Amino acid sequence: MNKRDPADRRCRTLLWLALIASGLAWASAGRAQLAITEVLTSALTTTNLADQWVWKGSDFWELTNFGTHSVDLAGYSWSERKGTRNSAPFAGVRISPGESILFFRLSTKDITDADAFRHWWGLADGVQVIPWGLQPGLASSQEDVQLWNAEGILVDGVSVGQAQEGVSFTYDTQSGMFGVLSVKGTGGAFKAATADDVGSPGSTAGSVPPQVIQAPADIEVDGGQAATFTVRATGIPPPQYRWEFKGNAISWATSATLTITNVEPAHAGLYQVHVSNCAGPPTNLVATLTVNANPCPPTIIRGLCDTFIYPGQTASFTVQARGYPSPSYRWRSNDADLPDVTDSTLVVSDAQEAQSGTRYTVEVHNSLGRAESSARLWVHPKPKLFITEMMAWPSTSSVADHSDWWELTNLDTNAVSLLGWKFFDNSNVLALGTPCTVTQAVTIQPGESIIFAKRTTPEAFVAWWGATNLPPNLTIIPYDGFSLASEGDTLFLWNPAATGKYDAVACVMFAMSTNGKSIHFLTNQSEILESEVGVDGVFRAAESDDVGSPGYSSFAPPRFLHIAVEGEHVTLTWQAIAGRHYMLQRCAALGDPNGWASVGTHSSPGRSVTVREAISPGQAQRFYRVETVP
């Protein structure tokens, strides 16, 4: 084994220390080392034995300065998910190195000032405690808290899910990921002085070095195209980013994403990103950009797709192509040229039904060749889809498989494909790109109701409500994301072409929900009813005391489940609501409105009605329909 010279070892050590110092100096010279380190969205409610008084704490969030310099917060602003930015709490406030400041919501009864907040937790007078006012309150089921500096740059933002009453959210001390619940005795968390709330207001568990979740990948593009490198990392305070090209700093590149437009051969080479915070030396990651400058004709990587929208919406057609020299684009509507459109995307604004069926074609060409792709635009009236039921507060919400769910019913006469549809609750989420998206091929049939269930599986949902209670072959779509707020919320459903919050196909709003009871929305969406067992098919869940009727809509038309011909009889079964009456009718040929004859009125004993009727030997055809009797 070769032994290194001690002097060489000392030189290497000094070089390493110099690199660390350089990294820390850059981090401290960059954006302020501030982080949101704790959030409480649901304080504990305390009632004395005689029910003479009720005490409740207040929402708060904590800001910590992990840097080495004091920061003047004048001009800073914050917001929660549903609100606008508020800069008032930061006026005249400075945060010192290592200091944690508490921002809290005032209440009219218990937490009326900073002294009351300190008394609640038993905090020393030296802890800065600053009220933001009576509103807004933080949502207990899904909330974001964001902080911007005086230049309007996002400093930090955290998201939290379903709260446990009386327990704050903080960060994982190993990864720096935010959203874990505080545990008494861990990370400095303690029980409040005057209540059983648990948190660590005024102190933190320290900084966490950056940890890379996604490294930038090597990229190969043709000359003239755009190239984007992306890195994802966690840490406390939030990691900062510095990009270099061939060892030279790119002065403007200080975010997790680096985009180079109109790439040329001179852009090819090694790109390095330094990921750091004040907790340690930078993590250095390298990716290679390869630029193709070999002449080649255009090749379409992803062609146009048929687009389905509703009147007044905007349709976008985009083609992805390669080629060198960089290709140009020529568009046609049917056979007419569109001379004003010269890039890879065509936008058709405010489309109307008269434009339905229009064929759009893009020709991708350069000096060496050409390629084409075509697709059609279909414009149809909005389908009659309604959000008909939801449960925002299950009685067993502590059980992992018992969580929020909502029901969608198709009252149209046509089936609707839901692939690519989006849904979210009360926020301007389409602009932020954060709604949940249906990624599986799901079609909702006329008269059908389907279920969207949070963080569960179809099997677990069926076990919760009982297989014998639910409709046969009930479609259950799991999703992971927002929670419905039990104290009131709004739910939106958008088709893929929607571009604005209120360009929704379906929308419902409720002010309050009761623990363990689902809410039914009537077709005009302006009136809601609470579930009661035995009313409109409502039943009790198999695994809990929750009540609802998932999969059944009280005003959806009956839907045939099974039709079978057996010798000289036909058996028909349709989905029904217990206690309702239905008229079955038949005719020999469609098209004659007067040709329908009654087969009788039938009362539903449960979830379905089955009727067996004789048919004439050799009869060519027979049609049936069923209607709800008022």
Answer yes or no: is 2 within a domain. no
Residue-by-residue DSSP string for 66-113: -SSS-EE-TT-EEEETTS--B-GGGTT-EE-TT-EEEEEE--SSS--S
Domain boundary among 508, 529, 548: 548
Domain CATH code at residue 199 = 2.60.40.1260
pLDDT digits (tens, 9 = 90+) for 70-90: 999 999 999 998 778 999 999
Looking at the structure, do residues 506 and 542 belong to the same domain, yes or no? Answer: yes
- Of 345, 364, 379, the residue at which a domain comes to its end is 379
How far is residue 617's CA from residue 612's CA, in Å, rounded to a whole number? Answer: 16
Indicate if the pLDDT at residue 12 is higher than 70: no
pTM for the model: 0.64
Q: Are residues 6 and 173 in contact, defined by beta-carbon separation less than 8 angstroms?
A: no
Residue 3 in any domain: the answer is: no
Query: Residue 371: inside a domain, yes or no?
Result: yes
Residue 26: pLDDT band with limits 50, 70, 90: very low
- 440 and 375: one domain? no
| Any domain includes 25 | no
Q: Compute the average pLDDT of residues 375-383.
A: 95
Q: What is the CATH number of the domain that holds 227?
A: 2.60.40.10
pLDDT for 103: 98
- Considering the domain boundaries, does residue 363 fall inside one? yes
Q: Are residues 47 and 101 in the same domain?
A: yes
Q: pLDDT tens across 259-290, in order?
A: 999 999 999 999 999 999 999 888 999 999 99
The answer to whether position 16 is within a domain reads no
Verify that 512 and 536 share a domain, yes or no: yes
Domain count, the chain: 5
DSSP readout, 442-483?
-EEPTT-EEEEEET--HHHHHHHH-TTTSPTT--EEEE-S--
Q: Estimate to the nearest angstrom the gap between the alpha carbon of 28 and the chain centroid.
A: 34
pLDDT at 3 over 50: no
Same domain, 590 and 605: yes
Token code pair at residue 606: 């449960």
Least Cα distance to 459 among 474, 481, 444 occurs for 474
Least confident span in 434-438, 501-505, 526-530:
526-530
* Residue 341 structural domain: 303-379
Q: Tokens in use for 580?
A: 């309702």
159 and 52 within one domain: yes
Which of 206, 236, 263 marks a domain boundary? 206
> Are both 491 and 395 inside the same structural domain?
yes
Residue 586 belongs to a domain with what CATH number? 2.60.40
Question: Could you tell me if residue 5 is inside a domain?
Answer: no
pLDDT of 615 over the 60 cut: yes
91-124 pLDDT, tens per residue? Answer: 999 999 999 999 999 987 889 999 999 999 999 9
Q: Do the beta carbons of residue 276 and residue 247 sit within 8 Å?
A: no
Look over the chain and give the mean of its residue pLDDT values, rounded to a whole number: 87
pLDDT band at 500 (very low <50, low <70, confident <90, very high): confident
DSSP 8-class letter at 45: E
Contact 317, 345 (CB under 8 A): yes
Q: Name the token pair of 459.
A: 């099997």
Do residues 391 and 373 both lie within one domain?
A: no
Let me know whether 594 and 455 are in one domain.
no
Same domain, residue pair 312 and 276: no
Residues 336 and 474 occupy one common structural domain: no
Tell whether the torsion through CA atoms of 589, 591, 594 and 597 is positive or negative: positive
Domain membership of residue 73 (yes or no) is yes
Residues 252, 137, single domain; the answer is no
Return the pLDDT at 14. 31
pLDDT recorded at residue 11: 34
